[in-house]
Amino acid sequence: MNDTTDPDRLAPGACSEISPVAGHAPSFLPKGRDFALVWHDEFDGDRLDETKWSFRTTFWGRRAHWFATPEDGAVEVRDGCCRLRLVRRPDGQFVSPQLQTGELVWDIPHEENPSGFWPLPKRSKPKFVHRYGFYECRCRLQQMPDWWSAFWMQTPTQGCSLDPRRVGVEHDIMESFKPGEVVPHWFHANGYGADWLGFSSPRRPEEADIEAFNAAHSLKLDKTRFHHFGLLWEPDGYTFFVDGARHGPKVGTAPGEAVSQVEEFILITTEAQYYRQGRMTGKGAPGLAAAAEAGDDFLVDFVRVFDLVPGTAH
C-alpha cells in the first residue's frame, strides 16, 4: 500500500466485497490479505446487547451530565440498526450517547475514601478489546448540525506513560463534525494535555493549523446513505478505507508517529457540539433543539472486527 499523490483522493479498487454475515450488508476488506471475523454486532433484535456495549457516563471520576444514560432513551435498536439520538432533558440539558466495549481511567467513578489512598472502585472487565486486524463500521451520519458522531478506539491505559507503543494510541477512524463531512483520521497519544502527541492520515504538515487542516481535508459524503469506514491496524502502521477505497497513506512509523502494540476497545459515540466549544451546560447551539425535536440520529448498521490470517498475503 503506497502513498497516494493526492492524500485526499480515495483510491478505488483497494477492497473486495465480502459477506461474512448471512443476511446482512457486506464488508469491504482490503485486497491481498485473508481475514477471519472475530467479533461483530449487527444490531438485530429490539434492544442494545449489553454483553457487548456499555454507556460512557463518567468523566474523570464525576458523572458527565452531557453523556446520555440508559434512562434517557437516547439509544434504540430496531430495523437492524443502532440509533444514537440527541435528547433534550426536562431541565433543558442536551445529552447524547457514547457506547463502548471497554473503559479507561476517566470512566471510573471515584469513591470517597478518606481513610485510604486508592480512590477507584473495583474495575470492570472490558467486554471486548483487541489488537491488530481490520475494524469496520457501516453507518449513516447525523443529518442536522450542532452535534457530531464518531467511530473510534481507545486503550484502557491511554496516556499512562510517554511510550504510546506500550500504553496505546487513540484511533479516530471516523469523525463527522458536520452533516456529510468526515475529517481526516486522527491519532492521539501521551494523554490529552501538554505531552499530547498527534498525527493524522492524510498527514498534516507541521506548520498547518489543525482546524484549518481538518476543514481543508474533510471528505464530503452523501449524508443520506450508509457508508463503510475501516481501519487496517498492523504492527507496522495504519491504513484507512472509506466505502472500499483506500484513503490517505499508511502512517504510524514516521517521526512523531507511533503504532499501538496493546489491545484497545471500540467506541461509537455522539456529542453535542457545544461541549467541544467548552460549554457543557445550558441551552447550547441553536441547532440542537431542532435536531432533538426532529429525532435526528446517527445510525449504525454494524460494527465488525477481523483478524488477519497469518501467512496469507497475496
Does residue 5 have a pLDDT over 60? Answer: no
Look at the block and give the residue holding cell 494510541: 169
- Note whether residue 10 is domain-resident: no
Does residue 263 have a pLDDT over 60? Answer: yes
Does residue 314 have a pLDDT over 60? Answer: no
Residue 10 pLDDT: 82
Does residue 1 have a pLDDT over 60? Answer: no
- Note whether residue 20 is domain-resident: no
Residue 282 pLDDT: 58
- Note whether residue 87 is domain-resident: yes
Q: What is the DSSP string of 73-118?
A: T-EEEETTEEEEE-EE-TTS-EEB-EEESS--GGGSPP---TTSS-
Number of domains present in the structure of the chain: 1
- 8-state DSSP, 275: H
Confidence class for position 287, pLDDT limits 50, 70, 90: confident
The grid cell for 275 is: 461541549
- Note whether residue 21 is domain-resident: no
- Domain containing 154 — which CATH number? 2.60.120.200
Task: Look at residues 211, 206, 199, 213 and name the one whose alpha carbon lies nearest to residue 249.
Answer: 199
**Exposure string (b/e) for 262-273, b if CB count within 10 Å is 16 or more?**
bbbbbbbbbbbb
CB 65 within 8 A of CB 272: no
**Residue range(s) defining the domain that contains residue 95:** 28-109+128-308
- Note whether residue 17 is domain-resident: no
- Note whether residue 186 is domain-resident: yes
- Note whether residue 159 is domain-resident: yes
Write the burial class of residue 33 (CB in 10 Å: 0-12 exposed, 13-18 middle, 19+ buried). Answer: middle
Q: In whole angstroms, what is the distance from residue 45 CA to residue 57 CA?
A: 24
Does residue 298 have a pLDDT over 60? Answer: yes
- Note whether residue 22 is domain-resident: no
291 φ/ψ angles, rounded to the nearest 5 degrees: -65, -40
Indicate the length of the chain as a whole number. Answer: 314
Q: pLDDT digit string (tens) for 210-250?
A: 999 999 999 999 999 999 999 999 999 999 999 999 999 99
Name which residue leads in pLDDT, 314 or 290. 290
Backbone angle region of 105, left / alpha / beta, with phi > 0 → left and psi within -120 to 50 → alpha: alpha
